[in-house]
Structure 1
Amino acid sequence: MRGAATTADPAVSTWGVPQTASWARGDEPRLEAPAGGQRGRIGEKLETQGLEGELLTVQLLEVQDPADFLFGAAGYRLEEGERAVVVHTEITNRGSVPFASLPDNYLELLTADSGTVAKAPVSLTSRPPHKIGVRPGETLGGHTVYVLPEATQVVSVRWSPRPEPDERTLTWTV
Structure 2
Amino acid sequence: MSSQQSIRQQYGTVQANALKLDEEKAKQSVDALNTDLANAYVLYHQLRKHHWNVDGAEYDQLHDWFGDAAEDAETAADEMAERVAALGGVPVSGPAALESHATVDFEGEDVYDARTSLENDLETYGDVIEAVREHVTVAENLGDYATSEVLRDHLAELEADADDLRGFLADDTLVLESAMH
| Normalised-by-shorter TM-score class | under 0.3
Larger radius of gyration: 2
In terms of fraction of residues, the more strand-rich structure is: 1
TM-score normalised to structure 2 length: 0.24
Higher RCO, 1 or 2 (CA under 8 Å, sep at least 6)?
2
TM-score normalised to structure 1 length: 0.25
In terms of fraction of residues, the more helix-rich structure is: 2
